[in-house]
């Protein structure tokens, strides 16, 4: 038991440097309830949560995570148990008695190291944004061409029982996307009716990552991505019933009963 009163279990002893106060710590995290159901999973190496490990005397109250991390080295993994009465209730199932936070320490950097890391990430992100912006004309032309060919019935698509249609420009050579995987996808979405763009990761500068098959995205995506492999480039023709239906999308960018067209590129799935 930690001095803050929380139980924890050290699962694996790492061989990296010791975590120190004021370090910037990078963790993978999986939160589970007392029934071993996964409530949250933050395990993408490109997006590990990170924070500065502040001195105890700078905190309003003892922090069990901070306290336990100071016992660890990079490479350690630990489970910290948070009893029900220590948690804000929110929308949590009242039958849950505790949550288990499973952390693995992936890295720890001092101020100088963290500054260099963030500068590198900013430069990499800027380069990625510029590369995607350069591809926009190509993607726009492809999506417009697919829409025109589809509407004139000149595009030979494949169709599923649900009504989803799709055309594969390039079938990737990576693993097949399956329900339950975390997929990372670039996309360009337009309305089938008039070709109006409503959302695009090529414009935003970053792909979207989500768990397939659990309702985090529209049904047409959950089904359509499982037809593809990592590395695939495809266009999905999604009927309204598999998109936002009679309600449309919040904000009004997608009107009620809109059929959608998405060009997608599967970057990764794991």
Active-site residue list: 187, 198-199, 218, 244, 262
In the 3-class helix/strand/coil scheme, how is 246-261 assigned residue by residue? HHCCCCCCCCCCCCEE
Q: How far apart are CA 33 and CA 117, in angstroms?
A: 34
CA dihedral 120, 126, 131, 134 (to 10 degrees): -160
Distance of CA 148 to the CA centre of its chain: 32
Segment holding 20, helix H or strand E: none
Helices (H), 94-218: 111-151, 201-204
Torsion 151-154-155-157 (CA) sign: positive
Which residues, 6+ apart, have CB-to-CB distance to 123 below 8 Å?
A: none
Expressed in angstroms, the distance from the first to the final Cα of the chain is 34
Q: Give the other-Cβ count within 10 Å of 73's Cβ.
A: 14
Q: Give the other-Cβ count within 10 Å of 270's Cβ.
A: 12
């Amino acid at each position: 038991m930690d001095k803050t009163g929380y139980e924890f279990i050290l699962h694996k002893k790492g061989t990296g440097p010791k975590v120190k106060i004021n370090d910037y710590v990078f963790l993978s995290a999986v939160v589970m309830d007392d029934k071993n159901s996964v409530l949250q999973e933050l395990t993408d190496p490109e997006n590990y949560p990170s924070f500065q490990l502040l001195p105890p005397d700078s905190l309003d109250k003892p922090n069990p995570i901070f306290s336990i991390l100071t016992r660890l080295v990079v490479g350690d993994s630990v489970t910290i148990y948070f009893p029900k009465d220590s948690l804000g209730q929110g929308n949590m199932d009242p039958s849950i008695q505790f949550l288990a936070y499973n952390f693995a320490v992936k890295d720890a950097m001092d101020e100088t190291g963290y500054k260099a890391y963030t500068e590198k990430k900013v430069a990499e992100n800027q380069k990625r944004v510029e590369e995607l912006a350069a591809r926009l004309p190509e993607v726009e032309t492809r999506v417009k061409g697919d829409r025109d060919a589809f509407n004139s019935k000149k595009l030979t698509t494949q169709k599923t029982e649900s009504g989803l249609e799709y055309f594969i420009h390039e079938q990737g050579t990576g693993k097949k996307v399956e329900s339950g995987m975390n997929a990372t996808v670039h996309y360009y979405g337009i309305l089938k009716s008039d070709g109006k763009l409503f959302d695009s990761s090529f414009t935003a500068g970053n792909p979207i990552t989500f768990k397939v098959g659990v309702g985090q995205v529209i049904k047409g995506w959950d089904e359509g991505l499982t037809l593809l492999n990592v590395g695939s480039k495809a266009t999905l023709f999604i009927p309204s019933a598999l998109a936002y239906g009679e309600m449309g999308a919040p904000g009004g960018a997608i009107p009620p009963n809109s059929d959608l067209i998405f060009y997608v590129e599967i970057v990764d799935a794991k």
